[in-house]
Amino acid sequence: MSHASENADRTRVLIVDDSAFMRTALARMIASEPDMEVAGTACCAHDALEKIASLDPEVVTLDVSMPGMDGLGVLRRVMAQCPRPVIMVSAATERDAETTFAALSAGAFDCVPKQLSPSSLEISHIRADLIAKIRSAAQSHRSRSAARAEKKPPQSISVLQLTSGSAAPAIVAIGISTGGPRALEQIMPRFPAALPVPILIVQHMPVGFTRSFAERLNKLSALKVCEGSHRELIRSGAAYIAPAGLQMRVARRLSDAKVILNIEHHPKDAEHTPSVDVMMNSVAQVFGNRAVGVIMTGMGSDGLEGMTAIFREGGLTIGQDEASCLVYGMPRACAERGVLSRVVPLTDIPTHIVHAVSRRRRPA
């Protein structure tokens, strides 16, 4: 393969940050990857917009907080004028979290938290996360571009209908990652306040972001949406988001067998914290065939084992379809294993859930 061909296969990344230290550090991380190259760097909004137009990078990393026009303003201009994957680089503060959620709603691909302290400028801890998200962003962009160019119809798999004898569901467990904040903002307002079951949500998210995200969804939804608390009794008409950096399970309280949340650090060896698999496996164990598992947009395969457990118990399993996913990784893993009862577009997911949980078995 020629040198020119090798360069053509690399993902070209533009780095936008007002900190010279951050630009240099991020550039070194990206340049060290054999399938990536730094197309350029920019220190402010004006510089960023000019270089996006002239350099045409495949992926942009964008600082949330910059003087003048902030990252959110730049993102909105990019999405309106020359759309492409943008990864927001954000501090894990409440103010920056709100701006990051607004950016994800406006079309940002994902976010990477930078946690600098006055005593340390070390950011090597973000490297794996940053590189994985750049790689996923480029892959997603190429797949969507190829699908548009070939005008392929959306792929689908065979759908199994819920049998009339199935038990009425008692809980909904949702697993989601990349593209999740925007997707959840679209579906959560579609649930009625009187939903007769609780919803548990594991959204892969940096530490410091889930409380703000829960508050944001709560304002948009008729359901009560909150960050899950340890030993909390779960209730119908409410949605519980797993706190970032902790695992969330369900268990029956010994005193009265009512279902509560266990929020803890274990298992520490799980690939994700929180983990969709950890949450869904507990749901399958406690609720059996009365569980509904929903797997949505995201990188990787977290949720595959949990969805498999719910499916084997006889519960209803729903996967988001490829056409409506930002990243068709987690649903694809479940579809390929054959553990999805239904595959539906994003905006149809609430309808299927509401219909399923509203069913009541006829008296014998």
How far is the C-alpha of 14 from the C-alpha of 48, rounded, in Å?
Answer: 8
Q: Name the β-bridge partners of 60.
A: 14, 86
* DSSP state letters, 207-231: TT-HHHHHHHHHHH-SSEEEE--TT
**Selected catalytic residue, list 204, 212, 301, 321:** 204
DSSP state string for 103-150: HHHTT--EEEE---BTTB---GGGHHHHHHHHHHHHHHHHHHHHHHHH
Helix (H, G, I), strand (E, B) or coil at 201: strand
Backbone angles phi, psi at 319, to 5 degrees: -115, 140
Catalytic hit among 177, 221, 282, 341? 177
Q: Which of 63, 70, 277, 302 is catalytic?
A: 302
Is 177 known to be catalytic? yes
Distance CA 347, CA 186 (A): 7
Q: Is 40 helix (H, G, I), strand (E, B) or coil?
A: strand
Nearest residue to 176 via CA among 144, 199, 147, 157: 199
Strand partners, 173: 200, 293
d(CA 364, CA 361): 9
As annotated, the active-site residues are: 177, 204, 302
